Structure 1
């Protein structure tokens, strides 16, 4: 499709000249001697790609025209032409949103180059807007599936938080519960949705690299810093930065993060200039940060600063029959991706899924269903299509209330791990009281929780 240009000048000869020149370049051109007529011709379904307008016209000045266009076509670049060669006139036009200006008599080559530049920029902005709109459509609040009370509470909290676009939020919950999805949903339904959503996993980088990624660095800040580089806080300016596994951050870096959250000001590594940005910070953890604070592994003041609102993502085993609702949604998705036509789960498959405890939560459910749909022979998924790890292999051992069941043939270490896990999952006492009931010290309980990686499987 031809790029479209509107030329607005009260001198008809100017419009004719520019129309002829630009038409030879392959543009679709419309010329107007009256800016009011041009405004009447604006069509939201087919806006011009560039508007070339005179600064001084009897019906309306260029600045007045810019005001009108900012209301009706704010994304269209406007190039102002002025015979009044005062710098102030051009500056005022630029301040009102003009893309650039040309001084009369207009140099045609300069005009063509400026129009080309404006169209390229306009096209890039349009493409970015389309991406943003698509992202918003991909992350509706209703996309956080489930009807159980815990997940309904999550949706209601996120809905409320969309109107508080500066508030720091902590997403907590076991691994695989959808903390990343919840954070993106909050961003794309907030006033910051048109700005970047960036994320970084604090556990994926060593501390010195994490600091450089977050704060950026100046040229020469360290051996390999051959050029300056902005950090995540700068890149996400106006938008959102999501810090996953915040508990993995060192105490020294936690102090710098706290300072940034208090002032929204920071310095790049090796820099002397204070930089201020408007970046919202969302955090996530699958650890018990209160316990980490008690063990002096996480700063108490930072915990209070990021825990303004705590969105607790429920474990799948606590979401009742929502596992089947989420499964139906995943089946629809995988049908499209895998070119299958699976209609659903048999009753036997549903029962098997409801009995399973899903220690890996939605991530585990997604992997199980993807495998089942690849290898399923019929148009439904049956119980034998679901490959679920048995409880004795994952340490997810449950019995009736007040009872503990464990299969024979496992090691003493497996038994210890399963028994401590069962105790932690069924008791809401302090760790000190739980340690006493197990006949071990609090330090020993701490060591075994870390050794067996039990905190990821326990909500406290």
Structure 2
């Protein structure tokens, strides 16, 4: 750990020398000044110290004026004021202006040591937190949304437009694997909500009762296992963003409760009686066709109207042409760094495959293909033979009998499930409740499988 640099400012040179000796014995690097103006002059050509210990009442520049000067220069470091008893009220006022704390003269050395240690620890934690936020913002900046097409540029432009718009609900639509989570995080970190927390929940991953308690929280005794009160994600992300992925999986009663919150920005915890108001920004995402869900009475029309204020439509990878290669280069470079392997790009044959494959899993599938390619690559340039793609014949409909189902040998169980559900949907052309009964699964499970495998798009392609 580097040595902490402390500056002592007091117009009495004896006090400055005493504190310098004491703090140097404690392992600090210390500089003492009798004039605050002399210390401020050094900031124009050097780095600021880690902490300033200054007298409040001084003839040239007072402790209050020193605090203001540091703020004007954009320097955020802990400042501890030393004051006589008659000036305590002024010191308290200085704390409202940003001073860390104050010491009353004559200063108790042990109290000074403890206060300095606390201030430096808290400042270090604050700096670390700010660095984490800066890294997250950099990681999720709008520049990370790669592409030159009009569709991609429209997504970037909309995110920038939303930067300072309060309480606007955003709906992100796109096939599975198109980067809806990345877009949601970018919306958060590129906005004034970035100082708050980004929380996310997959609405398809939890049963209704758990999803409700996760969103709205609960009071002690609200149900059998509620031994203590717990805030929900709407509270936790107050001042930040809550991302509701696969919002189409919510039950109708829970949709109604969410709609009520979106209208009023108030809710009650489960078992609670007090209304809680939050300023959480809501971003929703889905790969389902919500209009069809509304027609099937499985999604509320009024909720669709409410969340459809601003819609971002993410293009599938198969429509991105040359951008698919650009995205692949970025992804592959990341894996190359992680695996400590060289990467110099793709051969022309590999680029043609990247642009020509239909990518049913979109960027998620692309990442899996490139991760495997980088692991086994023998050369820095990836060739077509390095790109092992999902065989399209796994889903091929049999030519001789439309009612039969055939599957290639040595396919995975997941491929088999994908192919059979696809075949059944295309062959039956019946309501999903009937298809679910034939498959021996619940209607909710069928919805989840359709989204997982992007079956709506594939079945439509077969029918075309």
What TM-score, normalized to structure 2?
Answer: 0.82
Distance 1:232 1:30, change over 3 A: farther
Match in the other structure for 1:184: 185
State how far apart, in whole Å, the 2-side matches of 1:457 and 1:44 are: 63
Match in the other structure for 1:363: 364
Match in the other structure for 1:317: 318
Match in the other structure for 1:26: 27
Contact 1:85 1:103 in 2 (8 A): no
Deviates more, 1:264-273 or 1:29-38: 264-273
Match in the other structure for 1:412: 404
How much does 1:130 deviate? 1.5
Contact 2:221 2:271 in 1 (8 A): yes
The residue matched to 2:243 in structure 1 has which SS?
Answer: strand
2:64 aligned with 1:63: yes
How much does 1:445 deviate? 8.7
Task: Give CA-to-partner distance per residue, 1:297-356, whole Å, 9 cap, x none.
Answer: 333333222221110111112223322222222222222222332433333333333332
What are the residue-to-residue correspondences of 1:50-449 with 2, within 5 Å?
Answer: 50-85=51-86, 88-164=89-165, 166-394=167-395, 407=399, 412=404, 417=422
State how far apart, in whole Å, the 2-side matches of 1:96 and 1:386 are: 60
Distance 1:254 1:51, change over 3 A: farther
State how far apart, in whole Å, the 2-side matches of 1:205 and 1:308 are: 26
How much does 1:365 deviate? 1.0
State how far apart, in whole Å, the 1-side matches of 2:69 and 2:100 are: 15
Distance 1:55 1:349, change over 3 A: same
State how far apart, in whole Å, the 1-side matches of 2:59 and 2:312 are: 59
Match in the other structure for 2:408: none
Aligned residues: 436
How much does 1:129 deviate? 1.6
State how far apart, in whole Å, the 2-side matches of 1:212 and 1:415 are: 36
What TM-score, normalized to structure 1?
Answer: 0.83
How much does 1:417 deviate? 3.9
Contact 1:214 1:233 in 2 (8 A): yes
Match in the other structure for 1:426: none
The residue matched to 1:336 in structure 2 has which SS?
Answer: helix
Task: Give CA-to-partner distance per residue, 1:157-185, whole Å, 9 cap, x none.
Answer: 22322343542211111110000111122
State how far apart, in whole Å, the 2-side matches of 1:318 and 1:9 are: 68
Contact 1:63 1:92 in 2 (8 A): no
Distance 1:406 1:66, change over 3 A: farther
What are the residue-to-residue correspondences of 1:444-455 with 2, within 5 Å?
Answer: 451=446, 453-454=449-450
Match in the other structure for 1:2: 3
Contact 2:424 2:435 in 1 (8 A): no
State how far apart, in whole Å, the 1-side matches of 2:350 and 2:309 are: 41
Deviates more, 1:79-88 or 1:360-369: 79-88
State how far apart, in whole Å, the 1-side matches of 2:9 and 2:143 are: 47
